[in-house]
Amino acid sequence: MIGTVWKPEEEILGALQNAKNIFVVGCGGCAKVARSGGQLEVDKMVKLLESNGKNIIAAGVPERTCYIQFVRTFFDPKMSELKECDAVLVLGCGGAVQVVRQATEEYGLVKHVYSGLNSVGHMDTIVPGEYFLEQCSECGDCVLNLTGAICPVTKCSKGLLNGPCGGSKDGKCEVDPERDCAWVLIYERLKALGQLENVSTYWEPKDYSKAARPRKLVF
C-alpha cells in the first residue's frame, strides 16, 4: 500500500485559505488502512475545517481514489456539490489527488484540488494495524532473487549493491541505531541458504533508466 500521513493542520488550512465551501474526499484503499483517509479521518477533517470556519459542502470516501472509475462512480451522484464547491480536499496519496483532479477536468470543471496528506512510501503491513514498513523502492530492476528476498536498494540507507559500508555497528545502520543493517541481514540469510556466492561477485551499477519518471504501464 501507499503510506500516507496527515499534513500539518496549518498547511492544510493555508492551502484552503481562500476557499469557503469544501468538498472532502477520502480513500477506502491505502489511506483507510494507513488511518489517514478512511471515513473516521474524513469525519475528523470535516470537524477540523468546520471549527476553522469552513462550510463542508460534501464529504465521502470512494472505494479507491487512485482508480478513475471509482472516483467517477463517487462523484456522479454528487455533481451539484462538486460544481458548487470552491475546493476539493483529498485525503489520499499524491496519485489519488491527481486522479481526483483528472475527474474534475473530465467533468469540464476548473476546481482547486488540494492534498491533505503527505505520501511516505510503498508500505508493507508487518503487524496488521500497527506497523508498516517500506521494503520496496519499485526500482524497476528487482534484485531480491540474489539477496535472499531482502532488498538492499530499499533497506540499506545508501542502497549499496556490493556489500555493507563501514558504517554498520553491531549489525545496525549508521543512520539509525534502531535499524538493522540490510547487508548484515542479507549476509546471514544467504549464509543460512548456502548462497553467499550470490554476493561474492561484482554487481554492476544499477540501471536507473528503469526508474526514470514518470513510468507507466500500457495494455
Partner 1 sequence: MKLCDLFEKGKFVVTGEAAPPKGTNTAKMLSEAAPLKDMVDAVNITDNQSAVVKMGSLAASRCLKDNGIEPVYQLTCRDRNRLAIQSDLLSAAALGIENVLCLTGDHVSLGDHPHAKAVYDLDSVQLLKIASGLNHGKDSSGNELDGSTDFCLGAVVSPCTEPVEMQVIKLEKKIEAGACFIQTQAVYDTRLLEDFMNRLARRNITVPVMVGIVFIKSASMANYMNKNVAGIEVPETIIKEFENTPGDGLKAKSLEITIGLVNAYKDMCQGIHFMPLGWTDMVPEVLKSTGLRP
Q: For binding to partner 1 (CB under 8 A), which residues are involved?
A: 157-171, 174-175, 183-184, 187-188, 191, 196, 199-206, 208
Nearest distance in Å: CB 206, partner 1: 8
Nearest distance in Å: CB 165, partner 1: 4
Nearest distance in Å: CB 151, partner 1: 15
* Cα–Cα distance, 188 to 208 (Å, whole number): 28
Nearest distance in Å: CB 177, partner 1: 9
Residue in the structure block whose three cell numbers are 556466492: 197
The DSSP-derived string for 4-40 is: EEEPPHHHHHHHTTT--EEEEE--SSHHHHTTSSSHH
Residue 18: φ, ψ to 5°? -100, 10
Of 35 and 169, nearer to partner 1 (C-beta) is 169
Nearest distance in Å: CB 1, partner 1: 25
Of 123 and 173, nearer to partner 1 (C-beta) is 173
Of 60 and 171, nearer to partner 1 (C-beta) is 171
**CA 41 → CA 29, 97, 98, 117, 197, distances in Å?**
13, 16, 20, 11, 49
Of 20 and 191, nearer to partner 1 (C-beta) is 191
Of 63 and 188, nearer to partner 1 (C-beta) is 188
Reduced 3-state DSSP string for 99-157: HHHHHHHHCCCCCEEEECEEEEEEEEEEECCCEEEECCCCCCCCCHHHCCCCCHHHHCC
